[in-house]
Amino acid sequence: MANWIDACAADDIEEEDVIRFDHAGRTFAIYRSPDDQYFCTDGLCTHENVHLADGLVMDHTIECPKHNGQFDYRTGEATRVPVCVNLAIYQVKLADGRVLIEI
Amino acid sequence: MTERNYSMNGPDAARAVENGLAAADWYHSDISRKEMKALMKREDQPAIRDTIVLLGLMILFAGLGVVLWPSWWSAPFWLVYGVLYGSAMDSRWHECGHGTPFRTAKYNDWVYQIASFCMVRNPVTWRWSHARHHTDTIIVGRDPEIVAMRPPALFRIFLNLFGLIDAMQGWKRMLLNASGKLDPEEASYIPESEQSKVVTVARTWVVIYAAVITLAVAMQSILPLMVIGLPRLYGAWHHVMTGVLQHAGLAENVIDHRLNSRTVYMNPISRFIYWNMNYHIEHHMFPMVPYHQLPKLHAMIGHDLPAPNTSIWNAYREVLPVLRRQLAYHNDFLKRDLPPTARPYREDLHEAALGETATASTHPISAVPAE
């Protein structure tokens, strides 16, 4: 059964940006794309344990702040070395101005 | 006296993992997300401008060298061309490896490939090597890019002013890789999925060098090698001169870049050649900030960093006495004072390294060893 978690207000994230969300001992990254869509991935880079929320969002790419590896945050696909392993992604929906993620 | 083992497969490597120094959480100066986002923002224009200037100067000076060849009047033009090929390409290799100078990813990749060829550094191998240098900066046994070890290999550094060790190793490694093999150390940090790319690049380079050498033989002249290959030797001095200053004489096995990296103010020509990597603490602390934004970052966090060296000369006056001491006292290093506005070093985190402060020099310029 779907378990939707209230992560943040939609306005908490600027356009083309990312924030960190911690829940139940896990960490996630929640993105707002330039076309105002919301996405969620695991919060740590798959290369090393670095928080992606400190990285740079460019279009639909998140760049890790440590080694500049990149992922497409819509699909989790690793697109630039040194990252080689894809990110896990999670469903997101908006309800009453809140961002909910399905864990 | 502590004997260090800088091999990636040696006892210090295992100890670093045991002690939690590998892939540790490093110190960062405070800077707001909004400010950092503005600094990290990518644009093409500055790097396109600088790349056009660099390639334009290379064509100009190599062209003049060729026209005046074999007269000695060509020598000054080769010396300039050599520095652009054998030193400016080092910083282009470095920056484009990070993927930060250009917003357009393929521009970073193009310049990275050209610069890797000039510097004889396999672009696949060295991307992984440099990632490790950023994860585990100057952690003994983990960082494959430590230049000034302890005791410092001063003769090796001297030979590298003419590329005699690094370039030779690069060409030797190119031939090994072209034969389909990897060095065991390379294999320790390059994922298996990437290893075939190392071989492909090496084989491509062998073809290029074979063409240049064939042309030289046909012309019965080293002129083609003066354009491709040899400038890696006769133009290497500038990148070695600036590169040594990045970390030499500072702490090992710490997780605060203020303790193991150095920011040095440099003249505009050296900064163009070096692409602002003289702001080295800032670069290591925030590697996503493009080279053209580093002076701004420096101004924003300077209050939290040790005072920068005021010139290349000033930095060498600090470094050389420490390296000299390290020939005899391997545990000696320079621990630089922080300004009163800075957050203090976390001595508790660096107990193993800073516990050696009995031999640490804390006043750089006066840290000349007793005769």
DSSP string across B134-183: HHTTT-TTT-TT--S-SS--HHHHHHHTTTTTHHHHHHHHHHHHHTT---
Across the interface, of B36, B41, B127, the residue whose CB is closest to A82 is: B127
Cβ neighbours of A54 in B, within 8 Å: 36
Nearest CB to B288 within list A65, A81, A82: A65
State how far the Cα of A85 lies from the Cα of A103, in Å rounded to an integer: 20
- The answer to whether residue A20 neighbours chain B at the CB level (below 8 Å) is no
Give the span between the Cα atoms of B47 and B50, in whole angstroms: 5
CA distances to A66, A73, B64, B71, B317 from B80, in Å: 35, 45, 11, 16, 26
Q: Does A85 touch chain B (CB under 8 A)?
A: no
Which of B181, B200, B230, B199 shows the shortest CA–CA distance to B69? B230
> What residues of B are in contact with residue A45 (Cβ under 8 Å)?
none
Which pLDDT belongs to residue B356?
Answer: 54
- Centroid of chain to Cα B115: 13
Whole-Å CA distances, A91 to A46, A59, B46 = 19, 19, 39
Distances B156 to B6, B149, B355 between C-alpha atoms, Å: 15, 11, 29
CB-facing half-sphere around the CA of B235: CA atoms within 13 A: 29
Residue of B151, B173, B147 whose CA lies nearest to B159: B147
Q: How far is A67 from chain B (nearest CA, A)?
A: 6
Cross-chain residue pair A68–B288, CB shorter than 8 Å: yes
> Considering only CB atoms, which chain A residues are within 8 Å of B191?
84
Domain A4-102 bears CATH identifier 3.50.50.60: no
Beta-carbon contacts of B199 under 8 Å, excluding residues fewer than 6 positions away, are: B177, B178, B180, B182
Shortest CA distance from A51: residue in chain B: B25
* A22 to chain B, closest Cα gap in Å: 18
CB contact under 8 A, B287 and A17: no
Domain ranges of chain B: 11-359
Percent residues over pLDDT 90 in chain A: 83
- Cβ of B99 within 8 Å of Cβ of A63? The answer is yes
Integer Cα distance of B254 and B77 in angstroms: 43
Q: How far is B243 from chain A (nearest CA, A)?
A: 20
Residue spans of the domains in chain A: they are 4-102
Question: Coil, strand or helix: which one is A56?
Answer: strand
Residue B319: closest CA among B143, B148, B87, B134: B148
Query: Distance between CA A16 and CA A35 in Å, rounded?
Result: 8
- B42 contacts in chain A (CB < 8 Å): 56, 58
- Taking only residues 184 to 203 of chain B, the set having a beta carbon closer than 8 angstroms to any beta carbon of chain A reads 191, 193-194
B207 CB neighbour count, 10 Å cutoff: 9
DSSP state, A33?
-
What is the rounded distance in angstroms from the CA atom of residue B12 to the CA atom of residue B250?
18
pTM (predicted TM-score): 0.88
**Each residue's pLDDT tens digit in chain B (371 positions)?**
567 888 888 888 888 888 788 777 889 999 998 999 999 999 999 999 999 999 999 999 999 999 999 999 999 999 999 999 999 999 999 999 999 999 999 999 999 999 999 999 999 988 887 888 888 888 888 888 888 888 888 999 999 999 999 999 999 999 999 999 999 888 877 888 889 999 999 999 999 999 999 999 999 999 999 999 999 999 999 999 999 999 999 998 888 999 999 999 999 999 999 999 999 999 999 999 999 999 999 999 999 999 999 999 999 999 999 999 999 888 889 988 899 999 988 877 777 666 654 455 554 433 333 22
